[in-house]
Chain A
Amino acid sequence: MAYFETLGLVKLFGGLAAVNGVSFDVNEGEICGLIGPNGSGKTTIFNLINGYFPLDKGEIYFNGNKISGLKTHKICREGIGRTFQIVKPLKRMTVLDNVLASAFLRSHTKSEAVELAEKTVSFCGMTSLKDKVAGSLPIASRKRLEITRAMATKPKLLLLDETAAGLNPVELEEAIALIKKIRDSGVTIIIVEHIMKVIMTVSDRVVAINHGMVLAEGTPEEVASHAGVIAAYLGEDYCAAG
């Protein structure tokens, strides 16, 4: 069995099948990119994985355990961390306190948690901002804070939801460097991203989604040249030419 595996995920919103039978695997230590046009169901898949939405059908296995049906905080305890596309900083707390709140999960005492939070903050390059109130941060730092907070729960699998959206080119390079650094520290990553530069440079494998179904799967190059993917993004006309 794969390290992380989804089997026939189905999520219905009323009559709309937002996710309709999605199955894919992720191997330990790799970065798996999840791409697809707007509304194709990428974020919904994340919400299903971390238990924010209940599944209508399907199963999710992680590290040999079935995690579908567990509550969100239990799934985090199992070792799956996530960031939110629409960032959710704990606004009236400082950056360090944000990270500290999540560092408690893997710590027995407060001093242990403070140590872990400090370490995670410096790992993610936020040391200079640690005493700032989270609500005062610009978007790039908020996105980085999302990652830092998730990392402080010591995840084995990290779900990154559009952490590069809205960043300028310099910040983009920093974000890519951070994602690679996290992978190199032994964390498996599933990343949802629209910016192709990020997907193409960091992903080991890409899964393309459209209309809540898996369209293509393979290396970044294979998926980018896949006729169905081009049609989904650019329309049928470009497909024949490509």
Chain B
Amino acid sequence: MKNHLGPLAFLLVLIAFPLAVRDPYYQHLMILVLMWVAIGSGWNLIAGFTGQVSFGDAAFFGTGAYTAGLLAHKLGMSAWWGLGLGGIFAVIIAFPFGWICFRLRGAYFALATLALNEVMRHTATIWESLTEGMVGILIMQTFVSKIPYYYIALAIAVVSLISVQVVMSSRWGYYFVSIREDQDAAESIGIDTHYYKMVSLCLAAYLTGLAGSLYMNYMGFIDPTIVFSLHDISIMAILVGIVGGVGTVYGPAVGAFIMVAVSEVFRTGGFGLLEKLTAATGSPVMVLVTKYIKEAHVLTFGLLVIFVILFLPNGVVGGWRKSRRSH
């Protein structure tokens, strides 16, 4: 129980957050963080714990988002049905993919996930009669306030973390880690590695699809380049996992917070600081600097990953655990 006190206290803070911070901008950022907690947890399950690195989480995220969007757009149902069905449709995509591609190991599997990402993006772009192609799907958001979205996102994030915690302390968890550590050894102690890799992938796809359908409901607009984006979704999912701590339950939560903050700092040019500087100095150099820094967030992601791998190979959470143990 002692181990749960910290997270519980933190949960209380998160529950109180939208009541204390009224600025919708910060509420928006926190909704994104919570959404990324779910995606990061999913990625961590298949890549961090089971060792099958995925470069294609956007395939599941986009499937969840399009499930919600199309339910509203084509069938006139509430997009909220997507919360239930988005994850399931993501699993429907993941299942045949895993069935075929888990014959591949290591980098080859990772490449297959990358291909799945691209296949899904192109399908969504080309199949205009179903997905409206590049026009995208626009739905009416249910709430004007961000607070309901915040609590739904919080619920999804908490469910993700708890499910990962429960799974990882069960038989499945031991099997997942065994497969990561040595697939041949795992097979020789009676673990059906193909089956358990499928279980892990489907759980991961479900969480990611769930986050996708939340995104559709919250943002109200999607198109293939947004939700099937390689660098904004798939790579971001990897970063959330790696920065937070690969193979730790709470790693993705920390990673989500850091990554959303970092990308936001760059996207907004230091929360508008650079623009103010530019206006104050009026120097043309600052105009250029501002422009480049705003566009450099993907580059910064790369530098951040190098930094984390060099100095914190177990991520923020894993590294902290280790340093605590050694004292």
Contacts and interface: CB of A to CB of B under 8 A. Distances in A.
Interface string A18-54: 0000000000000000000000000000000010100
B174 A72 contact: no
Contacts of A93: 177-178, 181
B314 to A, nearest CB: 10
B131 interface: no
A77 interface: yes
A119 interface: no
Contact of A82 (B169, B178, B188): B188
A90 B184 CA distance: 10
Interface stretch (B144-152, B189-197, B214-222): B189-197
Given A76-B189, A149-B189, A101 B174 contact: yes
Contacts of B119: none
Given A52-B184, A88-B184, A90-B181, A150 B174 contact: no
Nearest to B192: A73
Residue of A77, A92, A93, A102 with most partner-chain B CB within 10 A? A102
Given A73-B187, A73-B192, A92 B171 contact: no
A81 B190 CA distance: 9
A77 B181 contact: no
> Interface on chain B toward A: helix, strand, loop, or mixed SS?
helix
Nearest to A97: B174
Interface in B167-219: 169-171, 174-175, 177-178, 181-182, 184-193
Nearest to B170: A110
A203 interface: no
B188 A84 contact: yes
Given A100-B174, A104-B174, A104-B175, A90 B187 contact: no
Interface string A68-109: 000111001100011010001111110001001110110000
A153 interface: yes
B189 A150 contact: yes
Contacts of B185: 84, 88-90, 149
B191 A73 contact: yes
A113 interface: yes
B117 to A, nearest CB: 28
Contact of A88 (B177, B182, B193, B247): B182
B322 to A, nearest CB: 11
Residue of B186, B190, B247 with most partner-chain A CB within 10 A? B190
Nearest to B195: A73
A82 B188 CA distance: 7
B188 A52 contact: yes
Contacts of A150: 188-189
Nearest to A135: B181
Residue of A50, A72, A97 with most partner-chain B CB within 10 A? A72
Contact of B190 (A52, A88, A153): A153
Nearest to A82: B188
Interface in A133-153: 149-150, 152-153
Nearest to A152: B189
Contacts of A102: 189-190
A84 to B, nearest CB: 7
A123 to B, nearest CB: 16
A76 B171 contact: no
Contacts of B247: 92
Contacts of A88: 182, 184-185
A125 to B, nearest CB: 20
Interface in A112-170: 113, 149-150, 152-153
Contacts of B170: 110
Interface of A: 50, 52, 71-73, 76-77, 81-82, 84, 88-93, 97, 100-102, 104-105, 110, 113, 149-150, 152-153
9 contacts: A52-B187, A76-B189, A81-B188, A89-B181, A90-B182, A90-B185, A93-B181, A101-B175, A110-B170
